[in-house]
Structures are given as structure tokens and as C-alpha cells.
Amino acid sequence: MKLLIATRNKHKLEELRQLFDFPGLALLAADEVPGLPEDVVEDADTFEGNALKKARELCHASGLWTMADDSGLEVIALGGAPGVFSARYAGEPCSYADNNAKLLRELEGASDRRARFRCAIALCAPEGREWTVAGECPGMILERSRGMAGFGYDPLFVPEGFDRTFAELDAAAKNSVSHRGEAMRRAAAAWGGMLAAEALMQA
Ligand code: ITT
């Protein structure tokens, strides 16, 4: 059975492929399915709302079971910013480096550097049923970048219980503690049986 992953972020796709590997389930990226909308406007005010919107729109357009992730960073001293604006914190368009530079500027001199990554994952079935799960990962924002792996805010974020940034951890170590890893483990526990049964029916 085909499961469409409603993301154009190849780093996320790679993480999701490692975390959601079930027999009978072929994960397809959005750019592997012709005729899908280029972009879904992410204008909901929660991660869950945006994940549902992405999954719903691409599910309708493709007719396939579709899963979408929406995620971002919340910094306590910044009142939860950048939050749902994480991808475009420094304006639009902007690079990961622009976002990281803005975050460091906003936190200059701040002693409270606590933050958390959050992730919501939505699943939509073509006949209209939909589900969501969530995960989070608490940690701290450093004063300068460290590491080359991962993407986004990874070089500035040290997860709780670690002394290395997400960008200094390999993919397996990041997945074991990350917001996306936690949400995907919940998704696998909640939806794995149902998707396996659906895959058998479609075989
Ligand atoms: P899609 O919407 O196509 O999935 P995107 O990159 O726009 O891709 P989001 O809208 O979910 O994804 O934005 C998430 C942003 O939050 C992302 O661009 C990063 O800046 C940040 N982010 C999310 N998860 C992250 C992670 O594991 N490590 C570092 N930064 C992350």
C-alpha cells in the first residue's frame, strides 16, 4: 500500500522513512506523485492544525492515504517564538542560517535559554477519517552553532540529558530523543496495526 508523505523537506522525509518502516507500506514523497500542489499554505495557529491541513490537502489531491508532519521550535524566553513560524522566522524566503542568526540575536544576553522542539503528525484516509499524534523534546539554545548534521535549528539545540547538539548527533541518536522520533513512535503504536490491515486488504 502507498502512503504519501506530505513534505518537500528531504531531511524530514529521511527521518520519517527511518522511523516508519513497515512491511507492505511504500512511503512516497510528494515529488514522486505527479500533479500535487507545490505548496500548502501553513496558516493554522497550531502545529496540529498545520499538519492536518497539509495531510488533508495532499490526500484530497492524490487519493492516497497521506501523512504530514508540522514541527518547530518554541523558546521560553521568547514567549514560545518562533513556534509555527519556525520555517520563516527571519522572513520569507530565508535560509536555516538566517533563522539561526535571528534566534541568536533575539536571545543575546538571555540567561534563560530553555526551549523545546514540538512535532504534530497527521494521518488522513481518502474516505475522510483523520488522526493526529504529537511529540516534544526539551533542551537549551547555545550561544553559537555546533555540528554539521541534521537541518534547521539543530546546530543550536542541545536536547535535555545530552552535551551535544542535534547537529552533532547521528540520525539514530537524534531520532531516539527528538520530537519527531517521539511523535513517530506514537504514530507507529497507534496506526501501525490499522495501516498493516489496510495494506493487506489492498494487496
Ligand atoms: P514541509 O512543510 O514541506 O514539511 P518545512 O521545512 O516547511 O517542510 P515545517 O513547516 O514543519 O517544515 O517547518 C518546520 C521548521 O521548524 C523547519 O524549517 C525547521 O526550521 C524547524 N524544525 C523542525 N524540526 C526540526 C528539527 O528536527 N531540527 C531542526 N529544526 C527543525
Tell me the pLDDT of the chain (203 aa) as tens digits.
Answer: 999 999 888 888 888 888 788 788 899 999 999 999 988 999 999 999 999 999 999 999 999 999 999 999 999 999 999 999 999 999 999 999 999 999 999 999 999 999 999 999 999 999 999 999 999 999 999 999 999 999 999 999 999 999 999 999 999 999 999 999 999 999 999 998 899 889 889 88
- The total of structural domains in the chain comes to 1
CB neighbourhood size of 26 (10 A): 11
User: How many whole angstroms from 129 Cα to the centroid of ligand 1?
Assistant: 25
User: How many whole angstroms from 153 Cα to the centroid of ligand 1?
Assistant: 9
Which among 50, 12, 10, 8 is positioned nearest to 180, based on CA atoms? 12
Pocket of ligand 1 (CB under 6 A): 7-9, 12, 42, 69-73, 86-87, 99, 117, 150-154, 166, 178, 180
Phi then psi dihedrals of residue 132, to 5 deg:
-140, 155
Q: Looking at ligand 1, which residue's alpha carbon is closest to its atom 4?
A: 7
Which among 119, 110, 133 is positioned nearest to 180, based on CA atoms? 119
Q: What is the pLDDT of residues 10-44, one digit of tens each?
A: 888 888 888 788 788 899 999 999 999 988 999 99
Which among 97, 113, 102 is positioned nearest to 155, based on CA atoms? 97
C-alpha to C-alpha distance for 14 and 17, rounded to whole angstroms: 5
- pLDDT, residue 196, reads 86
Write down the catalytic residue from 70, 154, 163, 170. Answer: 70
Residue 9 sits in a domain whose CATH number is: 3.90.950.10
Domain that holds residue 113: 2-202
Spatial strand order in the sheet of 2-5? 26-29, 2-5, 65-75, 114-124, 130-141, 157-159
Question: Among the atoms of ligand 1, which is closest to the Cα of residue 8?
Answer: 3
Question: Among the atoms of ligand 1, which is closest to the Cα of residue 179?
Answer: 27
pTM of the model: 0.95
Residue 70 bears catalytic tag: yes
User: How many whole angstroms from 96 Cα to the centroid of ligand 1?
Assistant: 10
- pLDDT, residue 9, reads 87
Question: Among the atoms of ligand 1, which is closest to the Cα of residue 180?
Answer: 27
- pLDDT, residue 45, reads 97
- pLDDT, residue 48, reads 98
- pLDDT, residue 13, reads 87
For residues 63 and 126, is the Cβ–Cβ distance under 8 A?
Answer: yes
User: How many whole angstroms from 201 Cα to the centroid of ligand 1?
Assistant: 34
In sequence order, what are the residues at sequence separation of 6 or more whose Cβ sits closer than 8 angstroms to the Cβ of residue 83?
72, 73, 74
